[in-house]
Structure 1
Amino acid sequence: MATRQDTAGPQATLRTITYRLSTASPKSLPQVAAQVAGLLWSCKELLSSSSTAKQGSAAATTVHRFRTYLSTLLQDRTIEGRWAAVVLVKATIEAGGLEVLSKSNGWVKNLLGILKRPDPPTTRILATINLIRIFMLTWDHSNLVRETTTPALPGFVATCLSNANHQRCSSAELHTTLEAFATLLPRHPTIFRTNETQIRALLTRILSSGSINVSESHYSAEHQDVARRVLVLLHHCSPKQGAGAKWDETLKATITATHATCDRVFRSVVENWQSSSGVQPSVNANVLLQGEAQMEVDDAAGLHGWTGIFAGSERLISLLGILEADMETETSGVVTVRVGAVLDLVSRILNLRIPSAKHGSATLNHQVSKDERDALYVNLPSVHVAAIALVQSLLQRFGKAATSTVQTLLGEVTWLFATESTELDVRTGIYSVTSNILELQGSSLTKDDVIDIESIIKKCCEDLLPIGQHGSTQILMVNAGDIGTQQANTASSHATRHAKLDVAAKALLRNCFAKLYPPHIPGRLRTLMERTAVLTQDKEALVSCVLNPAVSSNRSKVQPSLLPLLAQQHANAAEVEAILRPRMPVVRTGRKQADEDELEEDKYEADDHAEEDVTVIDDNAEADAQGGADQQAIEPTADLLAALVQQDAAADSEDLYSVSPQIIAKTRQEEAVVLGITSEKRRAEEFPTETGAQKRAKTNAVEEGSPGHGEVQATTISEHPPSSFVTAPEPSQQVVAETKTVSSTAVTNTVDMGSDDSDFEMPPLTMEQDTEDEDDEGEE
């Protein structure tokens, strides 16, 4: 009987999966595989444990039985069985990790066999994804690369090329094959080198869409995007460290082919452009104007010829896409980018614009028909979108290194926006490029530059706030008088919002607040920007607006802030919390930790001095009485001295923020009390009027009255106010002098307290010269 732990553990789960698969009918295997694939992750510990740990145990038997069944299912005669096996192999490899991967050679061979079968495209797609994942997992283990990837990859590439060229290849399968090449080629260039010619031919056919030689197939934009990336990555296959030179050669050939295509597509107008990189016409003008616009032979990039303005425009877009892929695709080594040649090509394309009544039109070439010129104007916005995407990739790749080109690009983009702002894709691209330009050099733009892009910013705000049918934005008031909760009504002329346009417009609005110098923004434009940020409830734009407030020419006028609206709309945002309640750490002097030991030492020394000063040895009853009276006068002084020592030590250890006027006042009051007591002793010494017997008699009278200790202390302080001639020394000297005085008085009373003939006189606490000797001589 199985135990409870065994029933609920991974071993029991794996046994259940094996039993469920083995008892299912072939037709139901796809449904069963989809159900049990998720359960394999719960068996992760069992599948990933080493074979030595499972050797001779029931777990080893369970895992071996499951693996054997999967191997059998991969060779099943039914399509359903092979499809289920491919799905389960992927789940098992993800759960088992290195342990399963090291024993997957048999599965790799079976998966390659499935690729060669005439199975449905979905099965071959899953098998391709499985093999890509296995090859990628072996990259961190050189022994697995040597044992698994290197033997299987050549057959995989050849099989994928064969399937891609076959008529049964579906669109999804072709896309998966191209993605596989883009993933594996940079890591295994030597294996792909043997098939470079076949791969380049496949890519050329895909990118030559609309050519006169390839008309039986149509490839989507997704296919062409992946094909461009693979074409750029083929430079890795160059032998003997020639990848960088091959990349530069491909870039130069693509630029040359693009200029040649522009010569034929733009022949209906006279271009107002002069090359800055020495580009010459690719064909004689007389030959260029003959017949229909076409390219009869393959161009410099290796693409096939084309015929007609529409096919030429598609080829121009495809070539610009290859240049964009050159900028975006990573390379394994250092390459040289011809930035000047690329910008020269972009300038040529952007200088040709659609004619308008306000901005006029380009010079027409009357040797070309009007129909061809109209076809050019129809396709020109799409070409401009591709050129703008190339500019954006260039700015993103080089960043601050491309700041020297920003001013020229900004002028071209502004001029293009004036003529083609009605095109949705053109606006989206211009918003993105303008946003990138502001990120790079927005703070250095002059006031004239800001005025030039004012039309772009206004249109950006209009796109974020669609205008209603009656010419005003319709606002849905959730709460009357509550501006922070207003929401723009979606019922407008732009019922369907463009996602990419919204993203680009919001990014541009945020950068306008954050990067542009506030005094350079006109007042009306600033108001429109703030209104757009509030009504769209864009948190990033509102934060940028609050952090970069508007500046008025009149300094006495306070500009309103959007901070209350920001706090109302986004109360839980961390950025809003930081703006509303900024917190700074306490600034320390760094002395507190170092002075703690000194404070403790001073405290102990003060306690020792106080104990020594107040210790009195009683010799007889009279000495006890006399000493008791003196002790009552000494103890308050000793306590105050100890308090002063502790206060001085504590004051040294305080940081900059702990000093307060209350502590200083209290310290001064304590010093005044000490000075008062010292003054009493001084007055008693200078005017001795009673003999020793009289003192004893007076002491006995005091004992009969039995006054308390507190009464004696209070009477002493009140009857003898501080003397006016006492000079207070510095705090450090005062503590030392007072300590010595009290100590001397205590010792004298102890030794000779009952003697009437004692000549002891208490030394003065002032810094004045002693004049008692002169007084004695005068009396004599």
Structure 2
Amino acid sequence: MATTSLRAVTHRLTTTPVQELPQITSFLATSLSDCSQLLSSPQGQKVGKNDSDDTVQLHKLKTRLASLLQDRTLEGRWTAVILVKATLEAGQWEVLRGFEPIFRSLIGILAKPDPVSTKKMCIITLTRIFHLTYQYPTLVREITTPSMPAFITSVLNLVSVKPSSEQVRKLKPNTPFLETALHALVALISKHPTIFRPFSAQIHSLLVAIIGSQSSTFFSTPELDLAEQLFVSLHNCAPKNTSGEEWKNAIRLTISSIHRTSDNVFRAVVEQWESVDATLRQAAKTPDYSQEVGDDGPDPLGLPGWRGVHSGVQRLIALLRLLPRFLSTPTAATVGVPIGYILDLTARLTSVTVPLESLDPSQSNVQFNLQIGREERDSLWAELPRIHVACINFFLNLVRALESGILPAAQNILEQSLWVFRAENFNRGIRTSTYDLMNALLPLMGPSMTKQNVSSLAKVIRSCCHELLPPGDLGPSADSSTDPKAKSKQQNQVIVNADSFLNPSLKQSRHAMSSSSFPGLLRAASELLPTILNFVPTEFLSPSTRAEIDRTSILVAEKNAMLASVLNPLPVTQGRGTGSSIMPFLVRSYSGEMEVEGLVRPRMPVLMSTPDLNGYANIDEEEEEEASGIVSPGPADNTGLINTSLPVALDNSQTSTNGATESLVSNKRSYAEEPITQTSGLSSASPKTTEDVQIKKARFEEEFPNIPKPSVEQTSLTRTEGPTISVQKTSVTTTPLPTQATTSNVPVTSASNTGVSKPVTPSSKETPSASQPGQGNAETADDSDEELPTLNMDPDTDDEDEEDDVTMEG
């Protein structure tokens, strides 16, 4: 089939006009992928007729693809690029080792005026070729090393312009190849760093223009992400054994660039922060307040200058986005993360918050710089939440990257984020980022938190509950104030919203629409509640806070929060009663969930400790006994202390009413070491023998009276209360009795010919019940000559042993 498909592909490529090839390119590429086994097989092992034909077809395919790459038409070159990639994916090494001319043709297409789609596919195809050759040193030496420098140069020329006398590049505006080019460079730089080393300066100049752009609208989010990854990966191009030092130097320069930008952005306030780094304190200089806020550049990282508060905030956000990339991008060597410098930076950024009274400096909690006008100050207050959102997101990336390694700095991160939340919780971005950070931080440090730390989370918890709760009564009466001045103002107000009176639910619907417009905020809040209940010590949560969490989870029917509340109940403490559980609400809302079913009705296997059955019951034997009407001892009774000697069918209703068991059992102190010469007409349905019974030497005092042997054809158990239970005829195995008298609780029958009476025990003082006439008289008379030893009516044990004896009294 593979041979047929390959022959069909070469035939279609040869006979179809070039202008019509793009219409069947997808079909031809799929057909080539079906020939992977044929294309990847070694060519030197083909000796048969069919194998020689396959070699001919493969040669035709390569020749046709090489001619299409040199074709004058755009359709031919586009088709060739697609089919070359499909052929390489199918054949890999067997195709790669003879494709050098095709590689040069692909690189040449990047310099031709082909469509954007053709050049993008050419970049993708060449990147895939270099990936496939990476695991073969011979192909790397023959293909990758000589071809990749030309490929890097061609890709950089597509997105930038390089003056002949300089080592820097200028980015082309609105280039459509930027994302594809960055993808290719990011994928190859870590595998071939020595080839990229001569181009590192050119790539760096290109990336700082992207990262330091004053407006994010110039570049898309994927382009910015790729530029940041490539910027961090440039440390791979450092000389041997210096990549770790290059990475450390890059992150230090990034921190210094953020500090330099903050010096200008925060000039409207007098900062109370002082750096722990002496170099930063010495480098600080007094800005020129007569000019517009800005930086002429370049900064320590090489980024260009900026002007205006908004541009400065954009630069801070871009650098705070770049900083986590140093932690998430793989490094070529072991590096040390400068946590101290990072926390020093974030302490500065979070210490400046929106003041409580921004209009009146005398009532504000922030000290203003009186040399700065009010317009710049107001612009800073409007931009501060964006800076703090980026800072908290950096904390989140830091926690996710270091995981448990962040524990020494976790308390500082928590405190800094709470500073911002208390001052700027009016901002949705602040609330969302804080909830996400707490959700990642509490599983690490929650179990070790103190009561004071848990109390500091009260405002975050209440705000989280408020996010999830449905809107309450938002009518006009809800906004009424008790202040008399406010009442007078309302009375003198002429303009009144009449729609609020005609449609009281207008505000509620508006609030619901605004809540649904921010699904990220609701998602973060709903994930935080279960985390608080699972990882924060519940004994440190105040009763009011815990009640609000439970109330919120019930009202919004949040399954995870209700499960966490049930599994982490409020502990009983001195002066506080037992807290109520919300399990009924959980069952009512999620009765069909497996977690709720396992919590409410746990299924646990029956633990059996029977040594004979090794913990497993024989189901077949139990079913046979139930079908024959015989009650056999259960696994719990088969312990060696009590042994059943007679198969007796019991009435369950009477047994439960009287509270006694009617099965006839032998004494746990039976003595069975004496030679046995006499048999008994009563058999046991239990598979156990007399050797399984615990034995003890008996005391002999008196002889048993002569008691006739009962009939086994049809016997009945006569009780002192209730009807007689008849037992069907069964096959009986006789058991020998000892020749001498023993003290035993083996039940004996009366000398009457009326059947089997109530068992007699040493403690029983009742006489056998009256016999029923007409049952087994003849057989009883025949066996009347046989004598049984008399019972010893005196106890054979001490008083404390008598309590352990099993009696058969009703």
TM-score clears 0.5:
yes
> What residue is the counterpart of 1:94 in the other structure?
89
- Number of positions where the alignment pairs a residue of Structure 1 with one of Structure 2: 622
Distance 1:494 1:120 in 2: 45
The normalised TM-score by structure 1 is 0.70
> What residue is the counterpart of 1:51 in the other structure?
43
Distance 2:377 2:349 in 1: 15
Aligned mate of 1:560, from 556, 581, 585: 581
What displacement does 1:74 show?
2.7
Which string of whole-angstrom CA distances, capped at 9 and with x for unpartnered residues, describes residues 672-704 of structure 1? 975554449xxxxxxxxxxxxxxxxxxxxxxxx
Distance 1:298 1:91 in 2: 46
The normalised TM-score by structure 2 is 0.68
> What residue is the counterpart of 1:720 in the other structure?
788
Give runs of aligned pairs for residues 686-697 of structure 1, distance below 5 A.
Answer: none
Distance 1:646 1:50 in 2: 78
Mark the CA change 1:348 to 1:13 in structure 2 (over 3 Å): closer, same or farther. same
> In the alignment, is the contact (CA less than 8 A) between 1:74 and 1:110 conserved in 2?
yes
Distance 1:632 1:286 in 2: 115
Mark the CA change 1:648 to 1:366 in structure 2 (over 3 Å): closer, same or farther. same
My pick for the range that moved more, 296-305 or 584-593, is 584-593
Which string of whole-angstrom CA distances, capped at 9 and with x for unpartnered residues, describes residues 462-515 of structure 1? 33455378479xxxxxxxxxxxxxxx9998131653344344333322311211
Distance 2:564 2:59 in 1: 62
Distance 2:615 2:560 in 1: 48
> In the alignment, is the contact (CA less than 8 A) between 1:294 and 1:308 conserved in 2?
yes
> What residue is the counterpart of 2:197 in the other structure?
193
User: Which protein has the bigger helix share?
Assistant: 1
Distance 1:292 1:462 in 2: 42
My pick for the range that moved more, 587-596 or 151-160, is 587-596
Aligned mate of 1:516, from 510, 518, 536: 536
Mark the CA change 1:503 to 1:70 in structure 2 (over 3 Å): closer, same or farther. farther
> In the alignment, is the contact (CA less than 8 A) between 1:44 and 1:95 conserved in 2?
yes
Aligned-partner residue type, residue 309 of structure 2:
I
Distance 2:422 2:430 in 1: 11
> What residue is the counterpart of 2:275 in the other structure?
275
Give runs of aligned pairs for residues 591-670 of structure 1, distance below 5 A.
Answer: 648=692
Mark the CA change 1:592 to 1:219 in structure 2 (over 3 Å): closer, same or farther. same
> What residue is the counterpart of 1:432 in the other structure?
436
What displacement does 1:157 show?
1.4
> In the alignment, is the contact (CA less than 8 A) between 2:538 and 2:571 conserved in 1?
yes
Give runs of aligned pairs for residues 357-436 of structure 1, distance below 5 A.
Answer: 357=357, 360-436=364-440
Aligned mate of 2:450, from 432, 446, 449: 446
Distance 1:593 1:143 in 2: 67
Distance 2:308 2:10 in 1: 62
My pick for the range that moved more, 60-69 or 246-255, is 60-69
> In the alignment, is the contact (CA less than 8 A) between 1:464 and 1:505 conserved in 2?
yes
Aligned-partner residue type, residue 324 of structure 1:
P
Mark the CA change 1:255 to 1:556 in structure 2 (over 3 Å): closer, same or farther. closer
Where 1:494 maps in the other structure, the secondary structure is helix
> What residue is the counterpart of 1:246 in the other structure?
246
Root mean square deviation, CA, Å: 4.2
Mark the CA change 1:54 to 1:637 in structure 2 (over 3 Å): closer, same or farther. farther
> In the alignment, is the contact (CA less than 8 A) between 1:468 and 1:493 conserved in 2?
no
Aligned mate of 1:144, from 133, 139, 142: 139
> What residue is the counterpart of 1:10 in the other structure?
2
- Relative contact order: is structure 1 or structure 2 higher (C-alpha 8 Å, sep ≥ 6)? 1
Structure 2 unaligned blocks of 5 or more: 162-170, 477-507, 617-674, 696-731, 743-775, 798-810
> In the alignment, is the contact (CA less than 8 A) between 2:586 and 2:596 conserved in 1?
no
Distance 2:138 2:694 in 1: 69
> In the alignment, is the contact (CA less than 8 A) between 1:21 and 1:32 conserved in 2?
no
Mark the CA change 1:114 to 1:277 in structure 2 (over 3 Å): closer, same or farther. same
Distance 1:411 1:333 in 2: 33
> What residue is the counterpart of 1:80 in the other structure?
75
Distance 2:58 2:147 in 1: 25
> What residue is the counterpart of 1:32 in the other structure?
24
1:130 paired to 2:125? yes
> What residue is the counterpart of 1:497 in the other structure?
517
What displacement does 1:542 show?
3.9
Distance 1:72 1:650 in 2: 98
Distance 1:447 1:648 in 2: 62
What displacement does 1:352 show?
0.5
Distance 1:490 1:354 in 2: 28
Where 1:266 maps in the other structure, the secondary structure is helix
Where 2:134 maps in the other structure, the secondary structure is helix
Distance 1:650 1:676 in 2: 16
What displacement does 1:49 show?
3.2
Distance 1:175 1:187 in 2: 20
What displacement does 1:367 show?
1.1
Mark the CA change 1:191 to 1:728 in structure 2 (over 3 Å): closer, same or farther. farther
Give runs of aligned pairs for residues 160-239 of structure 1, distance below 5 A.
Answer: 160-166=155-161, 171-210=175-214, 218-239=218-239
> In the alignment, is the contact (CA less than 8 A) between 1:324 and 1:389 conserved in 2?
no
Mark the CA change 1:424 to 1:85 in structure 2 (over 3 Å): closer, same or farther. farther
My pick for the range that moved more, 456-465 or 117-126, is 456-465
Distance 1:535 1:104 in 2: 67
Mark the CA change 1:555 to 1:15 in structure 2 (over 3 Å): closer, same or farther. farther
> In the alignment, is the contact (CA less than 8 A) between 2:470 and 2:556 conserved in 1?
no
Which string of whole-angstrom CA distances, capped at 9 and with x for unpartnered residues, describes residues 161-189 of structure 1? 12120577755521221222222111211
> What residue is the counterpart of 1:696 in the other structure?
none
Distance 1:493 1:245 in 2: 52
Mark the CA change 1:279 to 1:49 in structure 2 (over 3 Å): closer, same or farther. same
Mark the CA change 1:545 to 1:85 in structure 2 (over 3 Å): closer, same or farther. farther
What displacement does 1:282 show?
6.2
What displacement does 1:284 show?
6.0
What displacement does 1:336 show?
1.5
> What residue is the counterpart of 2:301 in the other structure?
301
> In the alignment, is the contact (CA less than 8 A) between 2:678 and 2:738 conserved in 1?
no
Where 1:140 maps in the other structure, the secondary structure is coil
Distance 2:613 2:41 in 1: 53
Mark the CA change 1:325 to 1:635 in structure 2 (over 3 Å): closer, same or farther. same
Distance 1:396 1:466 in 2: 32
Aligned-partner residue type, residue 116 of structure 1:
A
Q: Identity, % of aligned pairs? A: 32
What displacement does 1:590 show?
12
What displacement does 1:365 show?
0.7
Mark the CA change 1:48 to 1:555 in structure 2 (over 3 Å): closer, same or farther. farther
> In the alignment, is the contact (CA less than 8 A) between 1:228 and 1:322 conserved in 2?
yes
Distance 1:41 1:63 in 2: 14
> In the alignment, is the contact (CA less than 8 A) between 1:539 and 1:566 conserved in 2?
no
Distance 1:120 1:650 in 2: 97
> In the alignment, is the contact (CA less than 8 A) between 2:18 and 2:75 conserved in 1?
yes
Distance 1:490 1:89 in 2: 57
Distance 1:349 1:252 in 2: 17
What displacement does 1:126 show?
1.8
Distance 1:592 1:455 in 2: 63
Aligned-partner residue type, residue 789 of structure 2:
P
> In the alignment, is the contact (CA less than 8 A) between 1:261 and 1:316 conserved in 2?
yes
Mark the CA change 1:401 to 1:492 in structure 2 (over 3 Å): closer, same or farther. same
Distance 1:586 1:314 in 2: 66
> What residue is the counterpart of 1:544 in the other structure?
564
Mark the CA change 1:469 to 1:205 in structure 2 (over 3 Å): closer, same or farther. farther
Aligned mate of 2:64, from 66, 69, 76: 69
Distance 2:160 2:545 in 1: 57
What displacement does 1:372 show?
1.8
Which string of whole-angstrom CA distances, capped at 9 and with x for unpartnered residues, describes residues 370-406 of structure 1? 2222222222222112211221222222222322322
